[in-house]
A and B are shown apart, each in its own frame.
Chain A
Amino acid sequence: MSDPHNPRPETGIELFDHRISRGTLLRGAAGTMLGMSPLLAAACGGGSTSSTGTSASTSAATPVKGGTLRAGFVGGGTAETLNLYQGVTPIDESRAQNLFDPLLVVNPDLTTGPGLALEFNANAAATEYEIKLRPGVEFHNGKTFGAEDVIYSMRLMAKSANFASVPFVAGINLKDLKAIDATTVKVPLLYPDADLGANFVYWNTWMVQNGEKDFTNPVGTGPFMFDTFKAGTQSTFKRNPNYWQTGKPYVDELLIQSIDDNNARLEALQSGQIDAMAQLPTADAKAHQATGDITVLVAKSPQAMMFYMDTTQAPFTDVRVRQAMKLIADRPALVASAINGFGSIGNDIVGKGLPFYDNSLPQRVQDIEQAKSLLKQAGQENLTVTLQTSPIFPGFVESATLLAQQAKDAGVTINLKQVPPSAYYNPSALYLKMAFAETQWPPPSIKFFYLQALSSKAPYNETHWKNTAWNDLLFKAIGETDQATAQQTWNQVQKIQYDQGGYINWTNADWVDGLSTKVKGLEPHPAGVLGNYLFMNAWLSG
């Protein structure tokens, strides 16, 4: 849901952490202070390649025009921002995705399709691209969108203050970006990348106008135009009558409301003060699926919830110990208990449903005997370890507690240590220093996750994975232009993580939201909450 490199916590209490998480997510979560509201959501792909599971769909019938769509999110207080290159929470994302447009859109099956860009054409070595832009697209101020806007946007993303967008343009030779004509941009790269387009689907990379400075009155090409913004409270947007996706949006106005408390957000929905709420707690989701008084929107998504082991800290330096820990986890039980079943079973590699995810690996299942035997070989019978957890995302503390129980069967003692959300993703405090902990990643692409979490220069190397040969293989996979060879190489990259890595991926958690029954047109989408914030598709019946 939110920012992939900074997840945010989900609850209100530590709002702080909201921001922390990989960007956005965390922020979103932040609202949880007082433990009230979780951010969360999650998602992950279904069984094979496709990933959009759903529970309720709201389509059908002819869209009715007009009205105001009011959506409630966990707020971020004064930290809420309209700067899409700094935003890290779902509420920031909800505004950005409706003000601006991406070069490529994410389809409901997690493939990409044309957005503001019609084509990404690479040279044979995948070291330079020509991006063909959609002609005739207008900004909200009437200016025509073109090549100079793309160049300006990419360079703005690279500014260090725009920490959320920097990773996406890190492989581009920004100095030599060139407008070939009004709708064609030449993009030279620093290393081969066969799928540059995947860098420009995530909301921290969407296009702004040439010269955009402070985002106090943001001008985009998106389906809604900026009207008002009061951080931590409310923001409003008007329908863009000249939107390039003809006929959309259907509603005249969009209102985004900050409501940190989960109960208050749900009550606001039930009493008709809002029409949609992001991040319905899974327990409430279960209850309201039964009563049917609201529409529960559930989307399978690649949002990975994981335990992780630092491969450079004992006892996890021994690969047999890591393998034993992976065999101890009873994933179906974790999903059923910790998140009330709102997730698919994880398989220790990230990105289920995304292109290049390896679906051929066997599903890992609990095997206590094998785990015991591995621990014995490693000389670690009666192993005792400490797992640090935090109520930063819903399901973290619950899953940690359950894992500790499951480990007893293998003679492993897991001592739980609950730490404040404010420290959990804070590199000045605990983050990247814990030997055994939990994390959450909503990856926009497989490439993004591996570059951010596991490559030799990964800024968020939670498992402290260092392996030169593997790193070479990773960059070979990224630069491989032949689709079949690329998939094979990506499979090797993932197999090594599956066998030797420090991640125990127990679920790909669903996005779970609530809608008023009169909201139609919003379909579950694996890329984000509330149908990936595609409010241009929504309409109000009755």
Chain B
Amino acid sequence: MGRRLLGAAVSLLVASVLIFIGTSVLPGNAASVVLGRGATPAAVQKLEQQMHLNKPLTTQYTNWLGGFVHGDLGDSSIGLAQGQKHAPVWALISDPVKNSLILALITALFMIPLSLGLGALAAVYAGRPADHAISIMSLAAIALPEFVIGSLLVGVFFVWLDVLPPVAIIPPGQSPLSDPTKLILPVATLLLASLAAGIRMVRAGMVETLQAEYVMAARLNGLSERWVLWRYAMRNALAPSVQVLAQNLQWLIGGIIITETVFAYPGLGSLLVTAVGNRDLGVVQSVAMLIAVVYVMLNLVADLIVLLLVPKLREPA
């Protein structure tokens, strides 16, 4: 486990360098955004000073990373360019972070049991109509990008049936949970776009284990089919599936960016999209780094769960 933690730390460090370099080479900066056509070289230079962009890249990087490690996400470049002395990134992103977390958690709450349940169902009925139906529908959903799925759902549930709101406008300071109907279509979009991979992985694992000798043995010993399925087959099929589910959760972060834009949902995705457009590097870097931290944490947790499920992995190699 120690090695895994070290690996995680190194991954994050590499990510931080990549994020910093990646954002630094974006053409234009917040100064030219704020100034618009007035972005003459002299005016830009003045604002770059305000944004501390005149210091060497390495100094900018160490300042930023040092702050991040200590919980200081830095300042919004746009805020500084507009002449504010301090424009803490955290104040700008705290609400969007909460909103996105709520959306992701609710989606995960449905995604995990649905992946397991539908995957197992498909495996048990492998090659029969239920299996085909599940496979074809999940494949069809994954083949469509989120904005198409979102638009289709809006078409059906707003334009046609008029039972659900097509956008999720949430007033600042209000919890998205105060009106759950607004969350239904965004969550459904994310689910449809993400379920297939999990279902297919669980199905493949289950099909394999259901043919394994120990499962056969369990059956021959007269254990009930339900017991065999859940206690023997599922547990072993889970190990590879946990990694896929973790990947799915990581994918959610990406899917959320598009889904939030489609539904005008005030989360991290919408914020990031405008921040990139505005070249608000302070916001982009810190948000990207937070996402990297979540990614790495999800991997660690998945590894841990696999360790718990497969005792043999616990012994040192």
Contacts and interface: CB of A to CB of B under 8 A. Distances in A.
A binds B: yes
Interface of A: 3, 5-8, 12-23, 26-27, 30-31, 33-34, 36, 75-79, 81, 83, 86, 88, 160-161, 163-164, 166, 228, 230-234, 257, 259-261, 263-265, 267-268, 270-271, 273-274, 420, 422-423, 425-429, 431, 459-460
Contacts of A259: 167, 169, 264
Interface string B12-34: 00000000000000011010111
B34 A86 contact: yes
Contact of B28 (A36, A76, A233, A429): A429
A206 to B, nearest CB: 19
Given A78-B78, A422-B28, A230 B172 contact: yes
Nearest to B45: A428
Contact of A163 (B27, B43, B167, B262): B43
Contacts of A267: 154, 158, 166-167
A161 B83 contact: yes
Interface size class of B (residues with CB under 8 A): 35 or more
Interface string B177-207: 0000000000000000000000000000000
Contacts of A429: 27-28, 32
Nearest to A272: B165
Interface stretch (B125-133, B229-237, B273-281, B309-317): B273-281
Interface string B24-55: 00011010111111111101101000000000
Nearest to A269: B167
A163 B158 contact: no
B76 interface: yes
B275 A78 contact: yes
A79 B165 contact: no
B280 A78 contact: yes
Contacts of A268: 166-167, 169, 264
A160 B38 CA distance: 10
Contacts of A422: 27-28, 277, 279
Nearest to A6: B36
A76 B43 contact: no
A270 B166 contact: yes
Interface string B257-284: 0100111101000110111111110010
Nearest to A259: B264
A283 to B, nearest CB: 15
A5 B280 contact: no
B171 interface: yes
A3 B36 contact: yes
Contact of A7 (B37, B151, B276): B37
B183 to A, nearest CB: 14
B262 A261 contact: yes
Nearest to B172: A230
Nearest to B89: A78
B172 A77 contact: no
Given A33-B276, A77-B275, A423-B28, 14 more contacts: A6-B38, A19-B278, A20-B33, A76-B274, A77-B271, A160-B46, A163-B38, A257-B169, A264-B166, A264-B263, A268-B167, A422-B277, A425-B37, A459-B40
